[in-house]
Amino acid sequence: MITMVAALNAGLRRAMENDPKVLVMGEDVGRLGGVFRVTDALQKDFGAHRVIDTPLAESGIVGTAFGMALRGYRPICEIQFDGFVFPAFDQIVSQLAKIHYRTAGAVRAPVTIRIPFGGGMGAVEHHSESPEAYFAHTPGLRVIAPSTPADAFVMIQQAVTLDDPVIFLEPKRRYWEKGPVDLFAAPALPPDRARITRAGADATVVAYGAMVAVALEAAEIADAEGNSLEVIDLRCLAPIDFDTVEQSVRRTGRLVVVHEAPVSFGLGAEIAARIGERCFGVLRAPVLRVGGFDTPYPPSRLESHYLPDADRILDAVDRVLI
């Protein structure tokens, strides 16, 4: 049993051992080991030429990584907090995401951008954002969001081997929760495949990142009340594994989608629309979404009211089961 931080550290270490072209760069990733200590001791073991402390300039970090990728490297950038990624937004969506299409497939940009995301930590402004919809909406980017230490260990390695740019979202409030990790097992799933984490018969609940644990908590409560919920961990947000979601909904006839980000124009809307198209004939109730409110992320004293919890999920479940 190890924490997600330890699992990510082990995954980064394995990726660097497997490929000398893999390097890590970002603010304080070297000597300090990262603000969350995800890169702890990597500079000591691999050297400052492969674990690079950068200036505090996210656009410069990603732009430099892009140039290095064009020269054959596989950079892994760390963005310290989710809200700090926006200075690099132009580099990501205008350069990284488009270079493969722009060059008719001749050029790839294998850059992995690690972003701690989401709330639940009582942090100040710009430290608890959910920017996934911006990136999932951008053609040319893959967006990955593990929810467990085991997936974090495997999926960071898978992300580095992909030839596409990857936005790797790490649910920061799960960083210190422990889970089983097999450091030697082969990956059980490709990085773009969802996982059914709990089987059920009455309704499907889809979540990702930190919300998976909340959905599982809701499923436990529902079970005690006589309702069986199937919980799906998306794992990958672009592309989304709609086939797994569709197969589940065809069994249960109902769907609730959960995420921390505001409900309006979020990933839940896309999932609801796609499943509405695919499963129109079997849905027994409208697809419902549970998410944050249409406000900026609130001060820490109010975040417990903002973040979806088991009660809000169960309220939606009750509405689809009527």
- Bridge partners (DSSP) of residue 134 are none
* pLDDT level of residue 125 (50, 70, 90 thresholds): confident
Longest dimension (CA), the chain: 60
Average pLDDT of span 307-314: 97
Checking if the pLDDT of 166 tops 90, the result is yes
Strands 195-198, 229-233: pairing is: antiparallel
- The Cα-based distances of 16 to 20, 74, 124 in angstroms read 6, 10, 33
The DSSP string of 252-321 is HS-EEEEEEEESTTSHHHHHHHHHHHHSTTT-SS--EEEEE-SSPPPPGGGHHHHS--HHHHHHHHHHHH
- The pTM (predicted TM-score) of the whole model is 0.95
Residue percentage of the chain with pLDDT more than 90: 95
CA 204, 117, 210, 234 torsion-angle sign:
positive
pLDDT score at 123: 87
Checking if the pLDDT of 121 tops 90, the result is no
* pLDDT level of residue 171 (50, 70, 90 thresholds): very high
Active-site residue list: 127
Report, in angstroms and rounded to the nearest whole number, the Rg of the chain calculated over CA atoms: 19
Checking if the pLDDT of 122 tops 90, the result is no
Checking if the pLDDT of 300 tops 90, the result is no
CA angle 28, 31, 35 (to 5 degrees): 40
257 Rama class: left (phi>0) / alpha (psi -120 to 50) / beta: beta
pLDDT score at 120: 87
What CA–CA distance (Å, rounded) separates 68 from 108?
A: 11
Each residue of 90-104: pLDDT tens digit? 999 999 999 999 999
CA 126, 130, 136, 142 torsion-angle sign:
positive
Checking if the pLDDT of 63 tops 90, the result is yes
What CA–CA distance (Å, rounded) separates 156 from 158?
A: 5
Strands 74-78, 22-26: pairing is: parallel
Please report, in angstroms and rounded to a whole number, the separation of the first and last CA atoms in the chain.
40
Residue percentage of the chain with pLDDT more than 70: 100
Instruction: Return the closest-CA partner of residue 175 out of 297, 292, 37, 79.
Output: 37
Q: Please, are residues 75 and 107 in contact by the beta-carbon 8 Å criterion?
A: no
pLDDT score at 53: 97
What CA–CA distance (Å, rounded) separates 27 from 22?
A: 17
Measured N-to-C along each axis, helices 211-224 and 310-321 cross at an angle, to the nearest 10 degrees, of: 60
Each residue of 4-46: pLDDT tens digit? 999 999 999 999 999 999 999 999 999 999 999 999 999 999 9
Each residue of 222-249: pLDDT tens digit? 999 999 999 999 999 999 999 999 999 9
Q: The tokens 């690099």 sit on which residue?
A: 88
Each residue of 248-296: pLDDT tens digit? 999 999 999 999 999 999 999 999 999 999 999 999 999 999 999 999 9
| Mean pLDDT over the full length of the chain | 96
Checking if the pLDDT of 188 tops 90, the result is no
